[in-house]
Structure 1
Amino acid sequence: MSTTYEQITDRRPLHERVAADLRDEILSGAVLPGAVLSPAELQQRFATSSATVEQALDILREERLITSCTDTAGPAPDTVVLEHRQRTMRPARSLAPADPGQPFRWVIEARKRGVRANCALLEVKHVPEAPTHVAQALGLSAGTPVLLRSQVLTFDDEPAGLVKAYFPLEIVRGTAMTEPRRIRGGTSTLLAQLGYPPLRCVDSVSARIPTQEQQALLKLPHNVPVLRTFRVVYSDHDRPVEAHDTVESGHLYELQYEFSHAR
């Protein structure tokens, strides 16, 4: 492995850097499912020890990107690349209310991609004072209470996202939104029924190091980042009616946005 400027300035342990390079090749499709990774070849390629290569492979096994292949005559088992589980989701398509009798559009979009998706409600509660960024997004005065609905999103029964959705109490007070149960068709469907149809949203997306809560609820592998999406939903007269603070598992999620040129 030749010395580059990036390697000189990268302070991560060598096994994490090797894992990062291999992970990128797997997720980008440069290395296809079914390909065999030979520890001996990796040791030569990265000019490192067998112990370092094995540490790197252990990281990828924990992320379920590879699996050991013991059907080999070599001194160490080869490794087979699995089909990676990172799913492409299109957030813009989950804005509209669900069709009558249908589940939340996020679930429908996931199913179209062959993913068994589900939403598990964690809690529904009144928050006496909205977090500052939520109050600003919803156009509320400091100290204004809001309703919080928290849920975990799963892909094929594996935690994939943590959603904290905030709503102005003046809109949802006394409705099914305040009850500790799931809303058929999602909250956007109920908002539309209440006279606040979601018409526009603004997403702010960033990469984060997971908090302790996120690490525990999403059962993240070691050293995996999360995608954080803060979405503000607007209704008629550009009134903000909902703020989503969503954290998605970095090894399971890919977000896709589509743009067109306005004429």
Structure 2
Amino acid sequence: MTVPGPDAEAADHRSLHARIAADLRDEIMSGELAPGASLPSTVQLKERFDASNATVQKALQLLKGEQLVIGRAGAAVTVRDHRQRTVRPASYMAPAGSGEPYRWLTETERNGSRAHTALLEVAEAEPPADVAEALRLPASGTALLRRQLLMMDDEPVELVSSYYPLEIVRGTAITERRKIPGGTPTLLATLGHPPRLSVDRVSARVPTQDQYQALRLPGDLPVLRTLRVVYSDDERPIEATLMVKAGHLYELQYEFAAD
């Protein structure tokens, strides 16, 4: 029996056109290929990747389907403007001021995009296991779910499912199917549960069917899944939110001060 060497296990078994798209996608997302820049010509890509014309075109079609590049037959393919966005969670975690809209909306519009939210569901529900653990719920315990889709320039950008302990929100506006001025952080603060600490757990996941459809994802690309747990006084968890966004279009930026 032949024992495979170490290189055999490390081989990239993806199709060549998927590998070409992956390399170009990384260059686009890192800024090496900036918005408005032309991609190398088909001839250059054929030479670089030792690929046929048809294989290169299949790779470019993947990137076009992901809305990372634009172009047509016989013309240069260019990187689309403003496709990758950097999200700074700390900029919209604090409660909004009196009469102000939800911070995500103001921060998005400050960066030059049109933003709105679509409230999809408000219901009592049994949360996923990691959310239930974060909220310290008993076995088969339920929480109040508010599920919404965040839209930017008429495109879905994030599917947000927020869960709240029932003993905190029962009888409040959070249980109603309507938008809350300033967002739930503001209302929770007025109820005597101001956010004191937020903890994020970020992972890359294969999208579920629901996520795939809601975010209009183009193909087999990962999503960024953030589980954010918000704690109030006495380290009491008051909110656990699952936020899912397309991994090929967004990056998260966190800032940490030195001790």
* TM-score bucket (shorter structure): over 0.9
TM-score by length of 2: 0.92
1:25 aligned residue: 27
Deviation at 1:84, TM superposition (A): 4.2
Q: Percent identity?
A: 56
How do 1:165-180 and structure 2 match up within 5 A?
165-180=162-177
**Runs of 5+ in structure 1 lacking a partner?**
71-75
1:118 aligned residue: 116
Q: C-alpha distance in 2, partners of 1:205/1:148?
A: 20
Q: C-alpha distance in 1, partners of 2:110/2:257?
A: 23
Deviation at 1:6, TM superposition (A): 9.9
- Aligned match for 2:192, one of 190, 195, 206: 195
**Runs of 5+ in structure 2 lacking a partner?**
1-6
How do 1:7-156 and structure 2 match up within 5 A?
9-37=11-39, 38-69=41-72, 76-127=74-125, 129-156=126-153
Deviation at 1:131, TM superposition (A): 3.1
Q: C-alpha distance in 2, partners of 1:160/1:143?
A: 31
Determine if contact 1:130/1:146 at 8 Å carries over to the other structure: yes
Deviation at 1:110, TM superposition (A): 1.6
Deviation at 1:224, TM superposition (A): 2.1
SS of equivalent to 2:28: helix
2:213 paired with 1:216 = yes
Deviation at 1:143, TM superposition (A): 2.2
SS of equivalent to 1:181: coil
SS of equivalent to 1:36: coil
Deviation at 1:112, TM superposition (A): 2.2
Q: Deviations over 1:123-177 (max 9, x none)?
A: 00011x3432222111221122210000011121101111110000100001110
Q: C-alpha distance in 2, partners of 1:50/1:78?
A: 15
Q: Deviations over 1:92-117 (max 9, x none)?
A: 22221101111111122222222222
Give aligned pairs, total: 252
Return closer, same or farther for 1:69/1:36 CA change in 2, 3 Å cut-off: farther
Residue 159 of structure 1 aligns to which amino acid in structure 2?
A: P
Deviation at 1:202, TM superposition (A): 0.6
Q: C-alpha distance in 1, partners of 2:127/2:29?
A: 38
SS of equivalent to 1:99: coil
Determine if contact 1:65/1:84 at 8 Å carries over to the other structure: no
Deviation at 1:226, TM superposition (A): 0.5
Q: C-alpha distance in 2, partners of 1:47/1:145?
A: 56
SS of equivalent to 2:77: strand
Return closer, same or farther for 1:7/1:66 CA change in 2, 3 Å cut-off: farther
Q: C-alpha distance in 2, partners of 1:248/1:230?
A: 12
2:253 aligned residue: 256
Q: C-alpha distance in 1, partners of 2:242/2:19?
A: 31
SS of equivalent to 1:247: strand
2:4 aligned residue: none
Determine if contact 1:130/1:142 at 8 Å carries over to the other structure: no
Q: C-alpha distance in 2, partners of 1:162/1:30?
A: 29
Determine if contact 1:122/1:150 at 8 Å carries over to the other structure: yes
Q: C-alpha distance in 2, partners of 1:156/1:204?
A: 27
Determine if contact 1:26/1:84 at 8 Å carries over to the other structure: no
2:242 paired with 1:239 = no
